[in-house]
Amino acid sequence: MKILAVNAGSSSLKFQLLNMPEETEITSGLVERIGYDNAVFVIKVNGQKVSKEQTILDHKVAVELVIKGLIENKIIDSLDEIKGVGHRVVQGGEIFKDSVVITDQVIKDIESLNDLAPLHNPANITGIKAFQAILPNVIQVAVFDTTFHQTMKEDAYLYSAPYEWYTKYGVRKYGFHGTSHQFVSQRAMELLDNPKAKIIVAHLGNGASLCAVDSGKSVDTSMGLTPLDGIPMGTRSGSIDPSVLMLVSQKENRSYADVLDDLNKRSGYLGVSGISNDSRDIVDNMNEGHKRATLAYKIQIKRIADFIGSYYVYMGGLDAICFTAGIGENAPIVRNDVIEAIKVLGAKIDPVENQKRGEHLISSKDSKIKVFVIPTNEEVMIAREVMRLNK
């Protein structure tokens, strides 16, 4: 069965076509700069990326281009081969505690949450409607970043703010990267052969979050109401005293929104180092003795260690730590330094295993905690949800 996994952004559309239940990729690609004359469509054909620049006015045109590309490149013979489409939706609020087959009411409910994800949910809806128009008789499923974290208890997701903010406006921790945390933790339980394992997943990329998983359920996570909260990232500050916004806005005569934009787009690695939001650039400059790059790196390592320590205590122990996403999968130095920072917990790295790529165990034989590298696959997780609901 062929399933499309889709991630629609405000000006982009990523997709992957998978054979299910084998979970093998048939092709993947993306459309960038939707709405511009110099938009780009990229699709993988026989393992090679084929790209084309052209005008793509909107998401409907982008979807038509994707479908046309699948047929013209003989990846599929007809649209009848596509049996389901799974859509990543960023914010499900408290309305959606599971993935769901998309209906008109579901779309209205997702739109009602736009205030919680103004940059993401409207774009996700645009992608959904575009695929519904092209594939009207195919099951469409919404898979939310937030639903995996709906198992958190009140003491983990509520802020110590006026309770009415929660009841009136939904102010609480929702968490994100849910499909990644779910995929990686499920795989870790398989590797440990322990469905009751206590696991911490470190999804480290330009966007980054940690998640404490106990017996397959998320019990805490570092991101909050928005993806800005938690550990420092490529351009995001992570957790910060809210009074900073008032101070800087007063000093620089700027609006709260402008200062918040700084915390989202000009902070983290980029803001502290003054060089780049890319961890590879940070490490390169750190190795050359660049003080601010070194500081940006050390701040993030400390914050990651802080969360791991708190989750260790909250869960009452820990069986495994799993590194995933761009940095987690490809930066041995980050993995080494994180584990070194929490060595008091008894975690140790095997330096030889840590240099290897792909899924593998990198902890030493005498480590009290297993440490894995597990490449994430959010598209497979989305396709699994389509299969589960396509009964």
Cite the active site residues: 145
Q: Confirm or deny that 336 is annotated as ligand binding.
A: no
Angstrom distance (rounded) from CA 349 to CA 202: 16
Q: Confirm or deny that 205 is annotated as ligand binding.
A: yes
Q: Confirm or deny that 330 is annotated as ligand binding.
A: yes
Q: Confirm or deny that 178 is annotated as ligand binding.
A: no
In contact, 181 and 213? CB cutoff 8 Å: yes
Q: Confirm or deny that 114 is annotated as ligand binding.
A: no
**What pairs with residue 25 in β-bridges?**
18
**What pairs with residue 16 in β-bridges?**
5, 28
**Dihedral sign for Cα atoms in the order 257, 261, 267, 270:** negative
**Dihedral sign for Cα atoms in the order 156, 159, 160, 166:** negative
Length of the chain: 391
Identify which of 100, 161, 126, 68 has the alpha carbon closest to the alpha carbon of residue 388. 100
Angstrom distance (rounded) from CA 175 to CA 64: 33
Q: Confirm or deny that 88 is annotated as ligand binding.
A: yes
Q: Confirm or deny that 290 is annotated as ligand binding.
A: no
User: Nearest 5°: phi and psi at 88?
Assistant: -70, 125
Q: Confirm or deny that 279 is annotated as ligand binding.
A: yes
Alpha carbon separation from 17 to 4, 67, 122, 324, 387 (Å, rounded): 5, 11, 23, 22, 13
Q: What percent of the residues of the chain are helix, what percent strand, and what percent coil, each to the nearest 5?
A: 45, 20, 35
Identify which of 372, 379, 346, 377 has the alpha carbon closest to the alpha carbon of residue 189. 372
Q: Confirm or deny that 154 is annotated as ligand binding.
A: no
Angstrom distance (rounded) from CA 297 to CA 283: 8
Q: Confirm or deny that 204 is annotated as ligand binding.
A: yes
Q: Confirm or deny that 359 is annotated as ligand binding.
A: no
Q: Confirm or deny that 207 is annotated as ligand binding.
A: yes
Q: Confirm or deny that 224 is annotated as ligand binding.
A: no
In contact, 275 and 285? CB cutoff 8 Å: yes
Q: Confirm or deny that 357 is annotated as ligand binding.
A: no
Q: Confirm or deny that 280 is annotated as ligand binding.
A: yes
SS3 144: strand
Angstrom distance (rounded) from CA 273 to CA 267: 9
Residues annotated in a binding site for Mg(2+): 7, 378
Residues annotated in a binding site for ATP: 14, 203-207, 278-280, 326-330
Residues annotated in a binding site: 7, 14, 88, 203-207, 278-280, 326-330, 378
Residues annotated in a binding site for substrate: 88
